[in-house]
Amino acid sequence: MKKIIPLTTLLLLVLTSVFAQKNLTLLSPNGEIKVSIIIGDKINYSVNYRTEALMTENSLSLVLKDETLGKNPKLLSAKTTKSSSIIKPYIALKYANVESKYNQLLLNFKGGFAVAFRAFDNGIAYQFITNKKGDIEVMDEEVAINFPNAYNLHVQQPGSFKTAYEENYSTVSTDSWKEKMSTLPILIDTKKNYKLLLSESDLSDYPCLFFKGTGVNAIRSVFPKAPLAFGEDGDRSLKITKEADYIAKTSGTRTFPWRYFVITNDDKQILENTMTLQLASKSKIENPSWIKPGQASWEWWNDAAPYGPDVNFVSGYNLQTYKYYIDFAAKYGLKYIIMDEGWAKSTTDPYTPNPDVDVHELIRYGKEKNVGIVLWLTWLTVHNHMDLFKTFKEWGIKGVKIDFMDRSDQWMVNYYERVAVEAAKNELFVDFHGAFKPAGLEYKYPNILSYEGVRGMEQMGGTLPKNSLYLPFMRNAVGPMDYTPGAMISMQPESYRAERPNAASIGTRAYQMALFVVFESGIQMLADNPTLYYRNPDCTAFITSVPTTWDETKALTATVGEVAVVAKRKADKWFIGGICNGTEKTRNLKINLDFLEKGKQYTMTYFEDGINAGRQAMDYRKKTIQVKNGDEIAVNMVRNGGYAAVITAK
């Protein structure tokens, strides 16, 4: 027998539900971005940019062992605040002074938790905040994003959570994507001239966020489980033998990572964004003056194989070869050389140098030449010998390159921070390879100069400009990126034939030179052989003059995945870098020099693709002209080509 509900009771239930629902609105400072938050049986939010609905009824929750924060939430208070400040990052990848201006809505809920939303003029972000006693087990976090129409997503899809973030980018449609998952960042193209860059910041004691598609215009978060036990897996890693049923066991009183979206209808704004920095924790290093960003000569890519009339020794991983690299670095003002695998007698013992190399003599020689030594290590060796930072400081080492983490679960995220802390105690910088993407730790500990986490040039013929043209808009847009540029042997893809020691890159010579301006890293490697740099003195002089930190960045031309041209200033000198993919035979662009100071005359020296660079990628032209504010200049790039320039006041 069916139970009949009286009409008055039914109306009462409906009215109770309606009145229980809370609708709140948060606007960006300029009023163009609107976040509409609906609190009912869940916490939902929608995002509009001007009149365009970009995301609809996204939902968020934090699933703990015994409760779900965000399920039937009871709102206690809602407070809106405004903030405007200037951030001065010690490692200034884009700007020496970053304006951070936003409106915040802090929602406090019954049950000891809150959610903070922030709206900037170029995006939005939110984070969970908990106030629970003791530790909590986070079983899952719901980051559910719903799109009103079929969008294109530019994604990087690993086969599992064990990944070094080096897969090629692919493009999927939200109405069909269900296979595999994606790392962050994800670039969302609404197909209506709007783009959203999705990533995270202030990641600490928590796993990295991944996403999967649902096939119905929505994506959902997935996380690696917390590892509990490990087994042997060679000399440079461990395999996980037991996982927890939770993704994180952490303090009950804390802030959680920010989930953010950069939102724009102009691709140039993605190149200029600083959202990871704006949401990161403040630096824990009180006096960072010992941290010295800069360029480094690197031997691995060219297999430590200098040659020629000035190389009167057997080259290789030995003392004389490394002294040759130090001499090269000293000649061109490079701060460092990086000594990759082979400097130690074994990969598992960081205290016993290879006798053929004699690290201590190289440290002495480098100090004499004002060139610092950076040593490569596996993460496992560092984990097993965390006291090595103290030893390396005593030796006189300046930094470490740590490799093969290839994971981003809570344990490994915490490992990054432990390394940063121990390195900072001993005034060593860190370059993470085999790494996940930056997520704010590099600002909390600015001795982290860079991360790999990219399909970089060490992939040789597998590094195509058609993939690398997404990097300024995705991977490098969220933080420093150790791509290892600087090839002096350049080829177009159909003619690529190369391997170490005669390593080569795809793209033109001007393309390679431009990468030093376009790509951002606190430590920027010169990957090629000193012999080839000596044979190309004009190119080498330009490359080694490019700073690794900047006072100002101005995007000049940008189309995601196709072309990027930027101007960057250090003191009173401007550099321009432009790169393009291979979809067109030649790109003929015009750029305006309106960023130059009015009333001054400037000398501009530039490198452009030569007339035959579309087939013979080594072809380039170097020219010098006089310019001033407001001048319009031509930037012509062949397929997979580039453009590089330096502008100095007369």
Residue numbers annotated as active site: 403, 458
Strand order in the sheet with 336-339: 448-451, 429-432, 399-403, 372-378, 336-339, 294-298, 523-526
3-state helix, strand, coil in the chain (%, to 5): 20, 40, 40
**For residue 322, which of 543, 313, 352 has the smallest C-alpha distance?**
313
CA 171 to mean position of chain CA atoms:
19
Cis before residue 353, ω within 30 degrees of 0?
A: no
Q: How far apart are CA 153 and CA 1, in angstroms?
A: 51
Which tokens in the block code for residue 459? Answer: 């992939």
**What is the β-pairing status of strands 294-298 and 336-339?**
parallel
Which tokens in the block code for residue 403? Answer: 């490799």
Q: How far apart are CA 410 and CA 407, in angstroms?
A: 9
Which tokens in the block code for residue 372? Answer: 């610092």
Q: How far apart are CA 263 and CA 632, in angstroms?
A: 29
What are the E-state strand segments in 354-494?
372-378, 399-403, 429-432, 448-451, 490-491
Q: How far apart are CA 214 and CA 379, in angstroms?
A: 35
Which tokens in the block code for residue 269? Answer: 């704004």
CB 345 within 8 A of CB 353: yes
What's the chain's Rg over C-alpha atoms?
Answer: 26
CA 71 to mean position of chain CA atoms:
34
Angle at CA of residue 6, ends 5 and 10, nearest 5°: 75
Determine if residue 123 is left, alpha or beta; phi over 0 gives left, psi from -120 to 50 gives alpha, anything else beta: left
Which tokens in the block code for residue 495? Answer: 């003619």
**For residue 124, which of 105, 140, 107 has the smallest C-alpha distance?**
105
CB 358 within 8 A of CB 345: no
- With b meaning 16 or more CB within 10 Å and e meaning fewer, what string describes 357-388? bbbeebbebbeeeebbbbbbbbbbbbeeeeeb
CB 377 within 8 A of CB 401: yes
Q: How far apart are CA 565 and CA 556, in angstroms?
A: 5
